[in-house]
Amino acid sequence: MNLSGKNSQGEGQAFLLLGLIGHPVSHSLSPAMHLAAMKYIGRNGDYRLIDVVEEDLDEKLSSMHKDGYAGFNVTIPHKGAIYARCIGKSEDAVRTRAVNAVKIHADGKMIGHNTDLPAFKQALEKNFGNRNRLRALILGAGGASRSAIAALVDFGFSDVKLLVRNPEKHTLSDFFCGDKLIAGETFNMIRSEDFIQEEHDVPQLIVNCTPMGQASSELPAWVDAMFKRAGERAFFFDMVYSKNNQPTPMIAAAQKHGIAAVDGLEMLARQAALAFEYWTDKSVPPDVMLSAIAENSLAK
């Protein structure tokens, strides 16, 4: 595989400006990945972190085209808000009602896309293997959880529970658009703290779609109880990723109970590669992104 970036097809092309909108974003590995992708296809450009709070979102979006951006990624907490603001949406964006990649056309029109869904499906397929696909537990109610739900529908899970802090703020229709639920499928929301106090069937898969463990190693008490109840036959997928090759706090909690687990690093690389191809129509192997992450970690 050629990772040198020596490629003549980028010569004479305009400077490629990309970025990441979210709050916070300082921890992101996206710049390293996308700069490596630009090098791989021989394109000059930059990838910038754009920390924006909700009240400043509209002002920032209105300036992106003027500032020369060709596209940008979206992370917590803006995936749903930017979905609502995009003029056009891809099929995966509509299905999840969440956007994590936006392409800005020459006329300033913003088209939203979701690469979390296919990236999660690819990473889960590789790591979950032939385990029983019946019951799953999803932590969180944001844009990432919508991608996880759509993927689990595709994988044939028939019993999916969402653990959320405030179930009264959501309805199940918030999470489904275009998915026809087959007879027998059950989806319901449970307050996170209530899960350990009630009797529920043991899930084969637990997916963390929240930022828990990203900024702090402190976890709510119900997390340890949840993993203890799930037992060692469960599998845990943490969308939070490690930047130092150490287990994330959530994965450490799962491993304490003998649960096999994987963090979100591979999903991150896969969604980045898909987003880069969406913006540039150039395919870059996810291994290029993973190598950039590894080099970035060694440099620190």
Please report, for the domain that includes residue 158, its CATH number: 3.40.50.720
Residue 177 has pLDDT above 80, yes or no: no
Residue 183 has pLDDT above 50, yes or no: no
What does the DSSP 8-state code read for residue 14?
A: P
Q: Can you say how many angstroms the Cα of residue 220 is from the centroid of all Cα atoms in its chain?
A: 22
106 exposed, middle or buried (CB, 10 Å; 0-12, 13-18, 19+)?
exposed
Report if residue 128 sits inside a domain: yes
Question: Into how many domains does the chain fold?
Answer: 2
Q: 215 and 244 share a domain?
A: yes
What does the buried/exposed string (b/e) look like for 139-172 if buried means 16 or more CB atoms within 10 Å of the residue's CB?
bbbbbbbbbbbbbbbeeebbbbbbbbeebeeeee
Q: Are 142 and 83 in contact (CB under 8 A)?
A: no
Q: Are 77 and 22 in contact (CB under 8 A)?
A: yes
Residue 9 — pLDDT band, cuts 50, 70, 90? very low
Q: What is the pLDDT of residues 137-162, one digit of tens each?
A: 999 988 888 899 889 988 988 888 88
Tokens at 23, concatenated: 């709050």
Q: 121 and 109 share a domain?
A: no
Report if residue 101 sits inside a domain: yes
- State the average pLDDT over residues 72-90: 94
Q: Can you say how many angstroms the Cα of residue 126 is from the centroid of all Cα atoms in its chain?
A: 16
Report if residue 44 sits inside a domain: yes
Q: What are phi and psi of 69, to 5 degrees?
A: -75, 135
Report if residue 3 sits inside a domain: no
Q: 73 and 171 share a domain?
A: no
Report if residue 1 sits inside a domain: no
CATH classification of the domain holding 90? 3.40.50.10860
Query: Which member of 39, 60, 79, 282 is catalytic?
Result: 79
Q: 215 and 171 share a domain?
A: yes
Residues 6+ apart with CB under 8 A from 78: 21, 22, 23, 52, 54, 57
Q: 93 and 198 share a domain?
A: no
What percent of the chain is predicted at pLDDT more than 70?
89
What percent of the chain is predicted at pLDDT more than 90?
63
Residues 6+ apart with CB under 8 A from 278: 71, 101, 103, 113, 115
Residue 13 belongs to domain spanning: 8-113+269-299
Q: 238 and 216 share a domain?
A: yes
Q: 49 and 167 share a domain?
A: no
Asked about 228 being catalytic, the answer comes back as no
Global pTM? 0.87
